C-alpha cells in the first residue's frame, strides 16, 4: 500500500461519493469529493455560477439556494446532504424569457448595484413569499436579515419584495419545478 493510500485508510477517508442531485428539475448523477460543499458542486461541477461565493462561512447569504423549498446556505451544506432533494438555484426561477415575479420586481426597482448579492437575495425572497405570500415589513426584514448587500441596496430590495408580494400570491411564490415543495 502506498503512503497516500495508507493515510486514507488510517482516516477512513472516502475520496469520492456518487450522488444524485436534482437541480432545477434535472437529475445529475455525479462523483463528488467527500465533504465538498453544495456551492462548489453547483458552480464547478455543474457550471451553475449564478449562486455566489461570498464569505464561505454562512454569514452573508450570497450562496443561498432552495432545498425542498427552504432557503439554505450552499457554502455550509455538504453536497451529500442535498442528494435526492429538490434543489433550486437562481437559474431555475425563470421560465424561458419569462422572469419569476421576484426577479421582475428586482429588475423594475433596480434593487441591486454590483449584483453580487442579488441571486441570494432573490432566493431568500422567493422562499419568503412562498411561505408567506403577504409578508409584513417586519417579516421581510426578518427573512432578509441574513442577506448582506455591500452596496446597501436594502430600501430597494424591500420595495421589490413588497411589489412581488402584490403580484398574485401564487405567481410570486411559484417558480421552477423544484421551488414548490
In the complex, the residues that contact ligand FES under the rule CB under 6 A are 53-56, 58-63, 73, 75, 112-118, 149-151, 153
CB 23, min distance to ligand FES, A: 17
Structural contact between residues 91 and 26, judged by C-beta atoms closer than 8 angstroms: no
Q: How far apart are the C-alpha atoms of 163 and 152, rounded to whole Å?
A: 19
Q: What's the grid cell of residue 88?
A: 433550486
Which of 22/52 has CB closer to ligand FES? 52
Structural contact between residues 98 and 92, judged by C-beta atoms closer than 8 angstroms: no
CB 24, min distance to ligand FES, A: 19
Which of 28/76 has CB closer to ligand FES? 76
CB 110, min distance to ligand FES, A: 10
Which of 55/94 has CB closer to ligand FES? 55
- Calculate ∠ Cα 35-40-43, nearest 5°: 155
CB 121, min distance to ligand FES, A: 7
Q: How far apart are the C-alpha atoms of 83 and 131, rounded to whole Å?
A: 23
User: In Å, what is the CA distance from 11 to each residue of 6, 7, 34, 61?
Assistant: 9, 6, 13, 33
Which of 75/173 has CB closer to ligand FES? 75
Q: What's the grid cell of residue 175?
A: 417558480
Amino acid at each position: 500500500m502506498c503512503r497516500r493510500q495508507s493515510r486514507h485508510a488510517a482516516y477512513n477517508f472516502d475520496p469520492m461519493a456518487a450522488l444524485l442531485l436534482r437541480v432545477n428539475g434535472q437529475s445529475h448523477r455525479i462523483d463528488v469529493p467527500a465533504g465538498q460543499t453544495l456551492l462548489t458542486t453547483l458552480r464547478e461541477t455543474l457550471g451553475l455560477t449564478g449562486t455566489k461565493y461570498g464569505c464561505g462561512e454562512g454569514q452573508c447569504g450570497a450562496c443561498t439556494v432552495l432545498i425542498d423549498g427552504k432557503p439554505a446556505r450552499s457554502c455550509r451544506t455538504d453536497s451529500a446532504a442535498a442528494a435526492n432533494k429538490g434543489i433550486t438555484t437562481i437559474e431555475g426561477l425563470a421560465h424561458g424569457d419569462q422572469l419569476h415575479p421576484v426577479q421582475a420586481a428586482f429588475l423594475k426597482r433596480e434593487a441591486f448595484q454590483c449584483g453580487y448579492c442579488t441571486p441570494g437575495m432573490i432566493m431568500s425572497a422567493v422562499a419568503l413569499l412562498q411561505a408567506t405570500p403577504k409578508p409584513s415589513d417586519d417579516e421581510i426584514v426578518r427573512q432578509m436579515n441574513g442577506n448582506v448587500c455591500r452596496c446597501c441596496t436594502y430600501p430597494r430590495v424591500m420595495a421589490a419584495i413588497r411589489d412581488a408580494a402584490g403580484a398574485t400570491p401564487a405567481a410570486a411564490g411559484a417558480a421552477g419545478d423544484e421551488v414548490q415543495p
